Amino acid sequence: MTEKPTIGLMLGDVTGIGPEIAVKLLSRADTHAQARVVIVGDKRVLDLGMADAGKTLNVKVVDSLSDIDWNDGSIPMIDRGDTDPAAFTRGALSADAGRLAGETLGWMTERVLEGQLDGICFAPLNKAALNRGGFKFNDEHELFAHWNKHEGYYGEINVISQFVTFRVTSHVSLRRAVDLVTPERIKGAVTLAHSTLQAFGTSSPRIGVAALNPHGGESGLFGDEELKIIAPTLKKLAEQGLPTQGPLPSDTVFLKAVRKEFDAVVIMYHDQGQIATKLLGFFEGVTITGGLKTTYTTPAHGTAYDIVGQGKANEGAIAKAFHFCARIAAHKKNSALVAEVA
Amino acid sequence: MTEKPTIGLMLGDVTGIGPEIAVKLLSRADTHAQARVVIVGDKRVLDLGMADAGKTLNVKVVDSLSDIDWNDGSIPMIDRGDTDPAAFTRGALSADAGRLAGETLGWMTERVLEGQLDGICFAPLNKAALNRGGFKFNDEHELFAHWNKHEGYYGEINVISQFVTFRVTSHVSLRRAVDLVTPERIKGAVTLAHSTLQAFGTSSPRIGVAALNPHGGESGLFGDEELKIIAPTLKKLAEQGLPTQGPLPSDTVFLKAVRKEFDAVVIMYHDQGQIATKLLGFFEGVTITGGLKTTYTTPAHGTAYDIVGQGKANEGAIAKAFHFCARIAAHKKNSALVAEVA
């Protein structure tokens, strides 16, 4: 019998719909069936979320994670007492709220690295607020890698209902992305794809790899990265037990994935994947930071300022984010597999 | 009152579904309402198409385009007498068939340049057959530009039901595409977008321009082509009466187009547009070669070897291709606008 992982749930930026959907997530029985969950944030923000959601949770504030009694039927919470909702305008960007969200995630990361938590699921941040709040990184994944003192490959994973994407390159210029299509990074993305899909329960993942150039380079006529870098790397990886299909022209690999021929697509650059996933409904999807000691998952949608406090925010995406966090954390915990792929 | 344009219709590669869908197109009343149409090909191939389609056309073979009597109720045909269907295996690639298709299009191009035809619509080619048949170009658009002795910008236009794309770069490596994002090429694509959409009947086209880099360069953090090249060029073009919106991140510009906020999207590189249009149903779309003296349109789908001779090929896409050919040819003819945009 496997032990349930312990997931830390962060309520998201106080100005957005995070508290509301976190409460709705916590009200669902399936949430607690998948993992032990501890809320980390300010109790007053949780109360706001309960008011927004129109739901009351049986919550017990604890002083530390080691004080939790998992058998008393309540949901444990670490009350950081740092965020008074009355001090913020709802539905408006706040650097202070961004700073508080970042600090909470930083504290939770320390607890994962100490072994007190197995993963982190967080309700939506406002990325600009996080940046203005003092966390000056190209994206939150860089911030997380910094906290985890990570070297080597790690990457943003995007989950939509049809398939999952893994990135060889991400938040860099297209010109730099072309330079960064290296055997090492391809290996990182393919390895992460295999381990993540296995954590999701797919024992033999079918992974399509996108080409870099139009028509997959048309036999070298439109670029030779497929012939010189991508194909030889995929061949080596297959010999090492990491099979894939590709490189396939990027305008057909997603059609195959939509037709359920692939579970995942490894993409060479940011927009290659994002054009496809956003057209296919990514805002209902999940974003995962993969390849670090700490697992982070979050809904793909944002703080949705236009519907804050109306009670109509949907918890579907955060429920999926929680599910994948639990799956990956359980996989790491029980197989002692640390998804470091560098 | 405007004069109808005269469109040359080519039957496509004899090994594919071209003859069948050409006959189905010619059987439709709306085809003849839009333009005068003359068939160019081998009469035996047309007969094959009539047998496949189960339709009989009232066709009159003429010796030359100047011999056509447009008032006798028949569909005129130039019988090139060069293609005996019995010499070809249906549903299989043939270099000879590719050569014949190319030669027919070359002959038709000469007639356009002489002023005897106003545009060319062609049933599907097999691109590999065209290449093996002796026409050694990166794509058919390059071949067409060569025949038209064209210098400067021209481009492939892709029409789907939701919107139309115009390309700043096309069949080159991604690395080279980044280098080719120049003010001249952006101007070419935007100018072509305006003139084409106006030919389609949209007097004030709403044109979105995609960024090159992820997040549109994120204020220069992920590349500076938006700040240094694309935005200043779009500003100048707007001052010259060619307004656009952009540059917009490439993963959102298509969402806006799908929501009908744009009639067209100008894309910076091949896969940027193709990922979106193929996911949205491009195979039912139309491909146009724009910016040359001669207008060429064709269905986006191919020779469909798997259904050749079964009578079930659909003429929907070639009907759209014919429609757009007639619109652009009429626009050129009646406004004396030659869509040379270089």
DSSP string, A77-140: EEE-----GGGS-TTS--HHHHHHHHHHHHHHHHHHHHTS-SEEEEPPP-HHHHHHTT--SSSH
Tens of pLDDT, residues A121-158:
999 999 999 999 999 998 999 999 999 999 999 999 99
Calpha distance A99→B97 (Å, rounded): 67
Judge: A175–B176 Cβ closer than 8 Å, yes or no. Answer: no
Nearest by CB: B272 against A173, A218, A271: A271
Q: Is A172 in the B-facing interface, judged by CB distances under 8 Å?
A: yes
Token pair recorded at residue A5 = 């992982």
A254 touches chain B (CB under 8 A): yes
A224 contacts in chain B (CB < 8 Å) = 173
- For strands B245-248 and B207-210, give the pairing: parallel
Q: Where are the domains of chain B?
A: 1-151+291-342, 161-283
Q: What is the pLDDT of residues B288-333, one digit of tens each?
A: 999 999 999 999 999 999 999 999 999 999 999 999 999 999 998 8
What sign does the CA torsion over B328, B295, A251, B189 have?
Answer: negative
Q: Quote ipTM for the complex.
A: 0.91
Sign of CA dihedral B249, B251, B252, B253: positive
With an 8 Å Cβ cutoff, is A270 touching chain B? yes
What one-letter code names the amino acid at B339?
Answer: A
What is residue B1's predicted lDDT score, i.e. its pLDDT?
45
pLDDT in the model for residue A107: 98
Q: How far is B307 from chain A (nearest CA, A)?
A: 21
Residues A215, B171: C-beta atoms closer than 8 Å:
yes
Is the pLDDT assigned to residue A337 strictly greater than 50? no
Q: What is the pLDDT of residues A234-250, one digit of tens each?
A: 999 999 999 999 999 99
Does the pTM surpass 0.90? The reply is yes
Same fold, B1-151+291-342 and B161-283: yes
B161-283 carries CATH number 3.40.50.300: no
Q: For residue B320, which phi and psi values (nearest 5 degrees)?
A: -65, -40
- Chain B residues in contact with A175 by the CB 8 A cut-off are 175, 178, 223
User: Using the beta-carbon criterion (under 8 Å), do A275 and B176 form an inter-chain contact?
Assistant: no
pLDDT at A86 over 90: yes
Mean pLDDT of chain B, nearest integer? 95
Domain A1-151+291-342 in CATH 3.40.50.620? The answer is no
Listed by number, the residues of chain A in 124-163 with a beta carbon closer than 8 Å to a beta carbon of chain B are 138
